[in-house]
């Protein structure tokens, strides 16, 4: 992370913590590094996440896609909605 963005990143992380969008985490294989992207206005930043390490630690467990008919049967009868135009 560029040094000149450190203060902006700290502020953004504090804001995200305060809003409950993120939470502290220590010592886990599922933590991911952030990537700082400066927005077009050059005054604000966006925090992105690089999930390569999480993807490497995740075990692929393929499950077959359910058939549409099976999903519809489980949902039960539908009610028709008429929209006024």
Mean pLDDT of 65-74: 84
- Condensed to tens digits (0 to 9), the pLDDT of residues 27-58 reads 776 778 888 988 888 778 899 988 888 888 78
Mean pLDDT of 5-18: 92
Alpha-carbon distance of 29 to 54, in angstroms, equals 7
pLDDT confidence of residue 19: 95
Alpha-carbon distance of 33 to 50, in angstroms, equals 6
Q: Cα 85 from chain centroid? A: 36
CA torsion angle for 48, 51, 53, 55 (degrees, to 10)?
Answer: 180
Alpha-carbon distance of 24 to 18, in angstroms, equals 11
Other Cβ atoms within 10 Å of 6 Cβ, number: 11
Q: Which residues pair with 37 in a beta bridge?
A: 46
Considering the entire predicted model, what is its pTM?
0.57
């Amino acid at each position: 992370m560029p040094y000149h963005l450190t203060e902006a990143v700290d502020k953004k992380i504090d804001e995200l913590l305060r809003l409950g969008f993120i939470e502290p985490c220590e010592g886990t294989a599922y933590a991911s590094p952030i990537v700082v992207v400066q927005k077009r206005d050059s005054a604000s930043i966006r925090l992105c996440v690089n999930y390569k390490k999480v993807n490497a630690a995740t075990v692929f467990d393929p499950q077959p896609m359910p058939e549409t008919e099976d999903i519809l049967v489980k949902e039960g009868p539908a009610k028709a909605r008429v929209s006024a135009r």
